Structure 1
């Protein structure tokens, strides 16, 4: 049986945002797949308008993620209205940036399914449904994941016991592929269906990871492989060649530094939180971090997110493909100084990881 108590179209929004209210009204009137596809273009216009109106990365990415949740929820409902699988418990889960509620204007799909039911026959029915949902989301502006991290992939449509076995394998092996998987699949959040399945898996995962210090050490070592793009004396370390020469990739070389650290401290605290800021704050409550340093990291991360939104929006306005590369030399003096400070905070976060996980620096 599906849990309908978490419907983002009926729940009050996290914040009294006009964008959320407009998205709710647009999607409430979309009763079938064709009308949902038509509504998607209006939804995208709302998120771009939001990017023009805000300089704060935290509420902007949360609202964008909430709007995208509404759209995904409506797509699932439209598909189920045509052909629902048998009534055994299953849950559609968001992963990656969608799971963390940190989506920007340029995001592909990262999703999966947890089910509790009749083995291969149930999986086959869910996979057929998931393929249609993934394809419709693609038509609505959420590209298919190049890495195939989607619910229509049998490797991402697993029973609760299979997911636990998969996570346990990753935790105990800790090889490069397992660590890469951890950066995506550990950021799971229930979106539609039997939320209790995802909540059980998330709570179990937090306990397993926190009780395995070797895995946390390996995650910390992996995080430290990302170099902070800072040079000597107030200088940025920019890309030296290629299409984006003279720029910094704000996603992979700035935001990811904070996301990796938040994930490690969140798991070490034994709590299942997926949002980066929430992970840092829960680590403070668990006495693993000092409040002032956690807030500096959160502020640095949110500024990077706001800069990503500005840059993506500028690309969109110019009719270019949206990307995350910014040339520090082209930034206004205030933004350049704030980016420099954010990267210094990321370097401080790396230093703290070395202290907490000695021998990896």
Structure 2
């Protein structure tokens, strides 16, 4: 019989021992601590067999060291959706999805995700059910997104991993991009649109490689995704307060004499200073936005401006006029390829006018 306490106790069978070990682990996690095995096993109850201790150790190391995750992440994929132990998915570079199982019990699933949040120092709980952050896992860089079980009717938390390339992709991998190279060198204001996972940020990152090294870039993001080896750059990561919002950073960045302002993603209040920067003569601005087509991106910008600018007396027609007067080019991405590039010509009565640039090159 194996005893881990000085006092003799009635030994526990494996099932009860595993349950007790889980309770002890939860107690540590509630304190924000991921215990070491050397410390953890000292707290275990008396066990019947040495094999019971080994079973507890194997499960403990699985939850805290994630070797099973290492095997999963070896797949050449762009995204990993951890919906649950029996229903997770890999998205490959062609956008195809493949299902897989995670070797965790339903009882350990939440514990594993709690451990991930503590490991990366994230405040993730019922009151703050969403967490999105940058992290490294087994030598690969990811954007991790955690969704708490409290948001779901089936009470299951989720994890999404989006793979970040270690270096910018070759521009040729996005299709015919010669016209984009010309637009960047001419310091045109460019908006890159597309759905989630369409390649917007990847294209933006690659285009930054064309910016002359003497220029000063200001890069603003919610989550660290834009990889830029540019020697002269100032970067801002948004926080949770108004003072550390993208809108505040955008306004502040105008004081830094930037040659170009790069916005990771346009979602809400930041649309106002971004457009105002264009309106005051800044060139070479680039950003991304979720949209279903290039022209839809213009309507999305107009909607965001109407919702978040605070200009209640400015009609939609005037908003669209402001956008079309200052935004010069919109790129639409689909399945990691450039699908459409349009040049904005203007607008009339809220309807934007544009022409496709080099249209035959962008048919896939």
- Give TM-score, length-normalised by structure 1: 0.25
Structure number with greater Rg is 2
Higher normalized strand content (fraction of residues): 2
- Give TM-score, length-normalised by structure 2: 0.25
Higher relative contact order (CA 8 A, sep 6+): 1
Higher normalized helix content (fraction of residues): 1
